[in-house]
Structure 1
Amino acid sequence: MQRIYFITLLLCAFGLMMFASSKNKPNVLFITVDDMNWNSIGAYGCQIPEITPHIDRLAEEGMRFEQAYVQASNCSPSRSVFQTSRYPHQSGMRGFFYVEAGFKTLPEVLKESGYITGVINKSADSSLSPDFEKYWDVKIDFKGAEKRSAISYGQQLEEFLSTVEQEKQAFYCVVNVADPHKPFFNDAKSKKQGFDAFVPSKVFSVDEVDVPAFLPDAPKVKQEVLNYYNSVKRGDDCVGAILEVLKKSPYHENTIVIFVSDHGMPLPFAKSSVYPNGIRTQWIVAWPGEVEAGAVNTDNMISAIDFMPTVLDMIGVKPPSGMEGQSFYKAMKRKDLSSSEYVFAQFDENAGGVPRPSRTVLTKKYGYVFNAWATGKYPFKCSADAYASHKYMKAQATSNQEVKERYEHWVYRSVEELYDYEKDPDALHNLIDDPACKDIAEKLRQELESQMQATNDYVLSAFKVRDNLNALNQWMQEEDRKAIQRAEQLRWKRHKNRSGATKGHTQLYQLQLNE
């Protein structure tokens, strides 16, 4: 009896220790916005007054990283990297279909470590497979226009925190704000879908915005840019509501808040491109008493591949093997961090399943791009084709030589590109044929090829024949065949793709090592 009693006491003590340990672990609130350019908020240089006061305040409370990137310039592939620390071609999430992964994602690791996990909005794009329970203890998705409502985001976070209170566990919660994704506020489609019922806290006028240098400065384009910035404002309203709920909760002082955008604005030369306006992101980390308030990091190049190892490092959880990124927690503690001088990013295929594989390697100054599809035979296709700015460029290309050159570059690109992003942040001047840049181009080619070999990138075989357009066309023909097969068979994250409706699809994508 005494032995049983002693064992019972030990088990109770162990349970109390586990409870105390779980209660003292830092929480993680990961806030993302959808399609927001890195420089569209005040803290990152946007000159529109009062555009993002809530995000700016978060930056004042934490550390702002100036050299931050994502690995992919469209939604589901980009978001997968944060949860896996693997490049999209490694996880299989290079498109908008579900995959069968042979490794554990961040929410799975955290669940095993005593965390309660939750996702609010875009649960499909935050998950590799449709087995959501494997990743998320709490999954909350919005109905209809509510995903544009600041009040709704606050209410849903309150609902999640009430579950946390019941379970008495530390939490990892991903909140995905829909704005400024298309349709923008005041777009015809936005009005039709009821999104405009949720009005930004301040509505800007056309005189208060400027057209980015990578787009033509024309009234139709400027109107679309205005609608975009009003959606940025509404996105900031949503972030404000989320942060207000956290600050009123008992979890505020022990919660790490991380803020990013999944990629750039949904207009030509940004989203779906591997230029900085497609892959550069805001990255803010706030943690009361642990991360210096108002700090700015300009030294370290960080990217989505580093998110998972950094989070695990911050909360003291042993990392699993197989991750590609490295923790930059030391940088937040103002300690020396030997981070990579290169960031690698990619685009594989659009949401409909049309492949247009691109790869890039960036330093703080230069960026080299390889477009496997840019043979002149495969015009680029993405959702921006249906938007006002793209339509304007296409129409003007018949009579305006300057617009024609930009439009044709967007649609057909070049197999290789090189930019001095320090002097040319909007990627307007391709230096690949500049003799003065020959050594730089060759160095970055070598770095990209080494990266592709190390990560078993299926695009490597195309890279090796980059000087042979016929070989590239043959490679693309085979990739398109495979993409059509995927579109016809795999379980998709969207209700339709290039093959039509996807409702009856059941197969999961299984990564083949020789792809």
Structure 2
Amino acid sequence: MKEPNILIFIPHDLGDYLGCYGHDDVKSPNLDRMAENGVRFTNFFTTAPECTASRASLFSGMYSHQNGLVGLSFMGWKLQVPHFATILREYGYATHLFGFQHESEKPKDLGYDFLHSQDDMHTPAVCDSAIDFIRKQGAGEKPWLAHVGFHSVHRPWYRETTFKPEDINLPSYLPDLPEIRNDYTYFYQSIMNMDVQVGRVLDELEKTGLEENTIVVFTTDHGSPFPGAKATFYDPGVRVPLIVQHKNKLPEGSVVGQLISNIDFMPTMLEYCRYRVPQNIEGHSFLSLLTGEGDYQKRDEVFGAMYYDVSYDPMYYVRTERYKYIRSYGIDPKEVAGADPQALAVFKGSRWVRFDDYDVLTSQTWKTIEKDYGNSKPPKEELYDLKADPEEQHNLALNPASENVLRAMRETLAAMMKKTAAPLPDSHIAPNSVQLEVGGNYRKKLEIN
């Protein structure tokens, strides 16, 4: 097989809100069609429910405490290992970035030689650039990587929508209130608009005849910008879509339910292109699941970590097929002794200002429920039986009947932390000066006097 072109779509803050992922009230016909023509993964998990750390893991095959991006790129954190674009460039690919990325303030440092639509990152403009690029490609050109990134469906949204509040299927862990239903209508409209633009690019790829030599990928960074999703380790925050299509090369309409981490993405793509996978990365290939051929070394768990967003509030999670365990180290002052007090998560008024995303905490949904849901610190330990409690509403960590499971999940997490050289519980990652300044400014905006 000739080296395939690689086209990757990554919107912002989508979660799994697509029709093909069971959200029948969302209109995403183009991405649903892509799933019908390709392979859809239903248990694909990000290592972090935060933009930069998640994307860095996707494109480095390593956890944030291994690759250096333990916080947002605009808060001074830098990738310290090779990016997917850099590796492909070394193999002779022309590397193109269209629109948005979140791993560096300097995209060329990541390995992108050609930058498009950097002055206008609205989704239609980004897709116009991608379509123009595809039209100009000839069959004999060297292979290319096209990363098409959208700021959509991140807040704020246009205040126009064709969706009706009464037609929204709210997640059961949020109260059914008019303000929340109304908030979701704008989110759904943003998804539909994004889907239309992705469809335009896919149509152009087919029209130009490049479809058979281009592997197309669609995923996102983390959960939707609502309480209980983005910036949390609950499944709505860390389970994200992954759809992969390659005409006449990959199965059509295949659905894969195995546990997969987004650190496994890069080694899989390199192996698919028949390139050597770097030995020092943490992820491992799921190529056999993608192609439907060969044996797969099953993952027993997925694991993730969060360190910085607006605050330093270190957390880890480990998830098996049956159980989820979340460990928060920032809750107990003894466990963050030695960390920089200027960066620590704080309790102000009725809000625990940790790494919870600024956009979530300033949303209409949060403002509607804050008085009832925002006045307590989160627990140090959380344990959920995902079979009995798929929406993670009943914390079993203090339930004596779950003592054996809790002990086993603690041991599993400890083993993953040791294996990946996580800094806690023995040490902390010090903030840089930009993190202190910018994070501090965000925290001040979030404080309630």
| In 1: Cα distance, 2:110 partner to 2:235 partner | 34
The code of the aligned residue for 1:161 comes to I
The code of the aligned residue for 1:281 comes to V
For the residue of structure 2 that corresponds to 1:358, the secondary structure is strand
Work out whether 1:346 is the aligned partner of 2:302: no
| In 2: Cα distance, 1:343 partner to 1:179 partner | 27
Q: State the Cα distance separating 1:367 from its structure 2 match.
A: 0.3
| In 2: Cα distance, 1:236 partner to 1:250 partner | 21
Give the alignment of 1:17-32 within 5 angstroms: 24-32=2-10
- Which residue number corresponds to residue 47 of structure 1? 24
| In 2: Cα distance, 1:343 partner to 1:429 partner | 21
- Which residue number corresponds to residue 169 of structure 1? 142
- Which residue number corresponds to residue 407 of structure 1? 374
Q: Please, what is the CA RMSD of the aligned residues?
A: 2.3
The answer (yes or no) to whether the contact 1:153–1:241 under 8 Å persists in 2 is no
Larger CA Rg, structure 1 vs 2: 1
1:157 to 130, 137, 143: 130
Distance 1:347 1:134, change over 3 A: closer
| In 2: Cα distance, 1:100 partner to 1:270 partner | 26
Q: State the Cα distance separating 1:321 from its structure 2 match.
A: 2.3
The code of the aligned residue for 1:271 comes to K
Q: State the Cα distance separating 1:214 from its structure 2 match.
A: 2.1
The answer (yes or no) to whether the contact 2:79–2:103 under 8 Å persists in 1 is no
Q: State the Cα distance separating 1:323 from its structure 2 match.
A: 0.8
Q: State the Cα distance separating 1:488 from its structure 2 match.
A: 5.0
Q: State the Cα distance separating 1:210 from its structure 2 match.
A: 2.2
Work out whether 1:182 is the aligned partner of 2:155: yes
| In 2: Cα distance, 1:184 partner to 1:254 partner | 35
Work out whether 1:483 is the aligned partner of 2:439: no
User: If each structure's helix is expressed as a fraction of its own residues, which one has the higher value?
Assistant: 1
The answer (yes or no) to whether the contact 1:271–1:278 under 8 Å persists in 2 is yes
Work out whether 1:316 is the aligned partner of 2:274: yes
The code of the aligned residue for 2:94 comes to I
1:105 to 71, 74, 83: 83
The code of the aligned residue for 1:288 comes to K
For the residue of structure 1 that corresponds to 2:10, the secondary structure is strand
Q: State the Cα distance separating 1:245 from its structure 2 match.
A: 2.1
Corresponding pairs, count: 420
| In 1: Cα distance, 2:404 partner to 2:394 partner | 17
The answer (yes or no) to whether the contact 2:62–2:283 under 8 Å persists in 1 is yes
For the residue of structure 2 that corresponds to 1:306, the secondary structure is helix
| In 2: Cα distance, 1:117 partner to 1:155 partner | 18
Deviation track 1:219-253 (CA, whole Å, cap 9, x = no partner) reads 11111122111111112112212212222223211
1:439 to 398, 404, 413: 404
Runs of 5+ unmatched residues, structure 1: 1-20, 187-195, 398-403, 463-474, 490-495, 501-515
Distance 1:418 1:488, change over 3 A: closer
For the residue of structure 2 that corresponds to 1:419, the secondary structure is strand
For the residue of structure 2 that corresponds to 1:82, the secondary structure is helix
Q: State the Cα distance separating 1:163 from its structure 2 match.
A: 6.4
| In 1: Cα distance, 2:425 partner to 2:91 partner | 37
| In 1: Cα distance, 2:186 partner to 2:78 partner | 38
2:283 to 313, 316, 325: 325
Distance 1:234 1:182, change over 3 A: same
Q: State the Cα distance separating 1:213 from its structure 2 match.
A: 1.5
The answer (yes or no) to whether the contact 1:63–1:284 under 8 Å persists in 2 is yes
Work out whether 1:369 is the aligned partner of 2:326: yes
Q: State the Cα distance separating 1:134 from its structure 2 match.
A: 5.2
The code of the aligned residue for 2:66 comes to Q
| In 2: Cα distance, 1:51 partner to 1:68 partner | 22
Task: Report which stretch shifted further, 412-421 or 329-338.
Answer: 329-338
| In 2: Cα distance, 1:216 partner to 1:100 partner | 39
For the residue of structure 1 that corresponds to 2:426, the secondary structure is helix
| In 1: Cα distance, 2:110 partner to 2:178 partner | 48
The answer (yes or no) to whether the contact 1:120–1:141 under 8 Å persists in 2 is yes
The answer (yes or no) to whether the contact 1:449–1:460 under 8 Å persists in 2 is no
- Which residue number corresponds to residue 389 of structure 2? 424
For the residue of structure 2 that corresponds to 1:172, the secondary structure is strand
The code of the aligned residue for 1:96 comes to L
| In 1: Cα distance, 2:397 partner to 2:420 partner | 25
Distance 1:332 1:448, change over 3 A: same
The answer (yes or no) to whether the contact 2:315–2:328 under 8 Å persists in 1 is yes
The code of the aligned residue for 2:148 comes to V
- Which residue number corresponds to residue 72 of structure 1? 48
Question: Identity of paired residues, percent?
Answer: 26
| In 1: Cα distance, 2:313 partner to 2:275 partner | 38
For the residue of structure 1 that corresponds to 2:421, the secondary structure is coil
Distance 1:86 1:43, change over 3 A: same
Work out whether 1:226 is the aligned partner of 2:202: no
Runs of 5+ unmatched residues, structure 2: 334-345, 443-449
Give the alignment of 1:200-215 within 5 angstroms: 203-215=162-174
1:282 to 223, 232, 241: 241
TM-score for the superposition, normalised by structure 2: 0.87
